[in-house]
Amino acid sequence: MSTGAGIRHFDAALPNGITLACRAAGEGPVRALLLHGFPEAAFAWDEVLQRLAPRHAAVAPNLRGYVGSSAPEGDAAYRARHLVADLEALIARLTDGSGEPLPLLVAHDWGGAIAWNLAAQRPDLLRRLLIVNSPHPATFLRELRDDPGQIAASAYMNFLVRPDAPALLAEDDFRRLWPFFGGAAWLDEATRERYREAWRNDGRGLGPMVAWYRASPLRPALAADDAIHRVELPDEAVTVRVPTTVLWGERDVALRPGLLRGLERWVPQLDLRRVPEGTHWLVHEQPGLVAEAIAGQIDAALAGA
């Protein structure tokens, strides 16, 4: 894993009072914004940023609640509308308030949850979308209600929303977190130390990070009156009209293949690229493949394709 050579750091102070700690590489106008998931941080994109740098400038922020960025109190601060507002403001800053759309938004895992929402609600802000192993909200809702396999695969979410989850996850050198990565070959000691720093979170710990789970109703039901049974996602609210590429590692044990079924209903301009040997951690495993996919989408956006 790259140690981050050639990566620049800056803090993006947004009008809503949130500051996002950002990592960047490349010169000239920002062509892509890269969003991480849980339990990661922006450094997960470093090698991709470096591979893109000779051709395109890109930025990867630590999202709200993550290391170096603002972490407001209360679960309500992590609801989707606030996270989307952060992105709207960050894109405005990165495009110098020009009103020009960002060529490409790239997102993995929880970052994808925000990206799907932004693309559906504000298609004027971006030309293209690239998703890496992050389910569309409509298919995720369907599978969490109807598919026993996905319900079982997502059961960990109900652990993460427990009040004692942050303390339990931090015990014994984060013993319960390392298995999320499945014994990955890329997880060397230097990378582990970067994760430890991210999970210490400037002394705030994991609480703000798991608040994303507590603020969302999309998790397996434990009772008949759970919030997921009341969620309604009208097609017009979640349909993404911008050209969208979905890069999907098919060995993802947390997000099952059923999440891709019928996706074109909500993503009419869909380019689905399956990676048979890839897992959920495709950004770490195959940064070259991810960087090439990003560069290709930026080029297409700039060409007006």
* Catalytically active residues, by annotation: 109, 213, 280
As a whole number of angstroms, the distance between CA 229 and CA 224 comes to 8
Long-range CB pairs of 146-152, under 8 A, 24+ apart, other chains included: 147/256, 147/258, 149/256, 149/258, 150/255, 150/256, 150/258, 150/259, 151/220
Residue by residue, what is the 3-state secondary structure of 60-98?
EECCCCCCCCCCCCCHHHHCHHHHHHHHHHHHHHHCCCC
- CB count, 10 Å around CB of 98? 9
As a whole number of angstroms, the distance between CA 76 and CA 145 comes to 24
CB 11 within 8 A of CB 19: yes
Virtual CA dihedral for 21, 23, 26, 27, nearest 10 degrees? Answer: 20
- Strands 19-25 and 244-249 come out as unpaired
Q: Return all residues near 242 (Cβ < 8 A) that are at least 6 apart.
A: 119, 123, 126, 127, 128, 129, 269
Question: Which tokens hold the place of 283?
Answer: 């950004």
- Strands 57-61 and 19-25 come out as antiparallel
As a whole number of angstroms, the distance between CA 178 and CA 195 comes to 10
